[in-house]
């Protein structure tokens, strides 16, 4: 119900704005019929402009919504699993044992 009233109010404002613009553009010898046609043309132009703007706003909202929906996929962190190489640990232990053995042998 409120939406219809808002729409009627908007239409009334557009009509008044179109009439004021048509009256500003009035030239000498212009009939009421010409003025009425100018008013209708201006009104249609304003309505078309508002429809295009609302369409652009809807499209922009859709794009923003799609980007927000796609964000979690981008921010997923891959788990990095490091596999320990046992050979490196065996070589480290062997080298320490060799150093300790050499220390005691040369002593």
Give residue 33's domain range.
Answer: 1-72
Position 3 pLDDT exceeds 80: no
Q: What is the pLDDT of residues 26-83, one digit of tens each?
A: 777 788 888 888 888 888 888 899 899 999 999 999 999 988 887 666 566 777 777 7
What is the count of structural domains for the chain? 1
Q: Which residue has the higher pLDDT, 77 or 13?
A: 13
Q: How far apart are CA 15 and CA 45, in angstroms?
A: 11
- pTM (2 d.p.): 0.51
Looking at the domain assignment, is residue 15 inside a domain?
A: yes
81 is a domain residue: no
Lookup: tokens for 84? 């320990």
Q: Is residue 80 part of a domain?
A: no
């Amino acid at each position: 119900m409120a939406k219809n009233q808002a729409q009627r109010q908007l239409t009334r404002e557009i009509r008044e704005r179109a009439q004021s613009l048509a009256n500003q553009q009035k030239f000498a010898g212009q009939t009421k019929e010409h003025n009425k046609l100018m008013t209708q043309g201006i009104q249609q132009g304003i309505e078309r402009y508002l429809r295009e703007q609302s369409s652009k706003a809807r499209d922009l909202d859709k794009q923003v919504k799609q980007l927000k929906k796609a964000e979690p996929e981008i921010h997923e962190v891959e788990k990095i699993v490091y596999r320990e190489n046992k050979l490196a640990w065996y070589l480290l232990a062997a080298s320490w044992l060799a150093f300790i053995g050499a220390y005691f042998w040369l002593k």
